[in-house]
Chains A and B, each alone.
Chain A
Amino acid sequence: MGDQTSITSGLFLFIAAFLATGVEMVEAMTIILATGITRGWRSTFFGAGAAALILAGIVAAFGLTIEDIPLAPLRVVIGAFLLIFGLQWLRKAVLRSGRVIAYHDEASVYKREVEALRGQAATSTTGFQLPADWSPGKAIAGAGGLDWQAFVVAFKGVLLEGLEAVFIIITFGLSAGTKALAGFSGIGLAAIAGAAALVVVVAAALLVHRPLSRVPENTMKMAVGLLLAAFGTFWAGEGIGIDWPLEDGSILLLLGFYILVSWLLVTWLRSLQGAGKKAKEAARR
């Protein structure tokens, strides 16, 4: 009877840790997917990989005392950066959708780069060497071979969410006591739940990344801007001491609010552009 209670409690611990770490991993994966699709995978993976390495180093160095690391200042800094990057992307996407600036034409950028690269001693207009395995349709990296904005966004997202996932595993594991499942208990069981959540989230990301990459560029950039702004507001707000009423669910509310604001701004810009055209036609007559 006692063993059965322990197994049931262990199962609950597993499910709770799986879901809680899963939420953090979905948040990190959303940022990785959004950044990878819009800015290129190489720099995004470098950023995420660097964060994972640093995270592993922090866990190895601090062990269970990792809970003493103050998350609030980290949340404020990361949230503020994500907000700034997100709003910059969103601003451009809104101006494009509102027909104030031209849509970014990737094909013409590639063509221009290729012509410059082939015609001028293999040096592109941005001053970087064309990779040997490059082909049309493949992203060209920025300074130092990396797109630093993609690197930083992915790095911060993975580092913060990874730290939160580690905190969850340690908190759940320590509070679990003797709850056991399949021979594992405490932190070991919570860590297995976290690993299972990671596998599920990565598998889901592999399934959805191809359909997502077919979304038009400006739509995707607007979506990324909206996501970064929502995550950034949430994290920075948490860091300065705001109690979000729905906890992580508030990210969805913020996202909905920013979608509404962006739609209103696009509608407003289009009406301004339309009014300008009408005035021009009236002046011609």
Chain B
Amino acid sequence: MKNVIRFLKFWYDFLIGDAWEIAAGVVAALAIAAILVGVQPALSVVLGLFLGGAIAVVLGVSVWRGWQERRPRAARERRE
């Protein structure tokens, strides 16, 4: 059991790390784009723009979360 947990933890750390929103956002963006391509193949060129934009949003959200996580710590350090 310990080894299974260790194995799963390795893969979690390897693929997801400390920013789960990146993996979730990438999978969601690709899934939405794939569905839209399937429904409306004529939009496939426009969907390139959507995918690039969605990835930029994922990055923006993750950076914002990174800033939010570290902001209280920085404020504490300043007080000390």
List chain A positions with a Cβ less than 8 A from chain B.
76, 79-81, 83-84, 87-88, 90-91, 94-95, 98, 100-101, 148-149, 229, 233, 236-237, 240-245, 250, 254, 257-258, 261-262, 265, 269, 272, 276, 280
Contacts and interface: CB of A to CB of B under 8 A. Distances in A.
A262 B67 CA distance: 14
A240 B33 contact: yes
A87 B59 contact: yes
A211 to B, nearest CB: 28
Given A95-B66, A98-B67, A272-B67, A240 B59 contact: no
B45 A243 contact: yes
A276 B56 contact: no
A58 to B, nearest CB: 25
A79 B30 CA distance: 10
Contacts of B23: 84
A280 B77 CA distance: 12
Main secondary structure on chain B at its contact with chain A?
Answer: helix
Contacts of B34: 76, 240-241
Interface residues of B, number: 35
A244 B48 contact: yes
Contacts of A79: 30
B71 to A, nearest CB: 8
A229 B33 CA distance: 16
B37 A242 contact: yes
Given A87-B26, A240-B33, A276-B74, A257 B17 contact: no
Contacts of B63: 91, 94-95, 98, 265, 269
A241 B51 CA distance: 12
B19 interface: yes
A258 B48 contact: no
Contact of B45 (A94, A245, A262): A245
A114 B26 CA distance: 38
Contact of A261 (B44, B60, B75): B60
Contacts of A81: 15
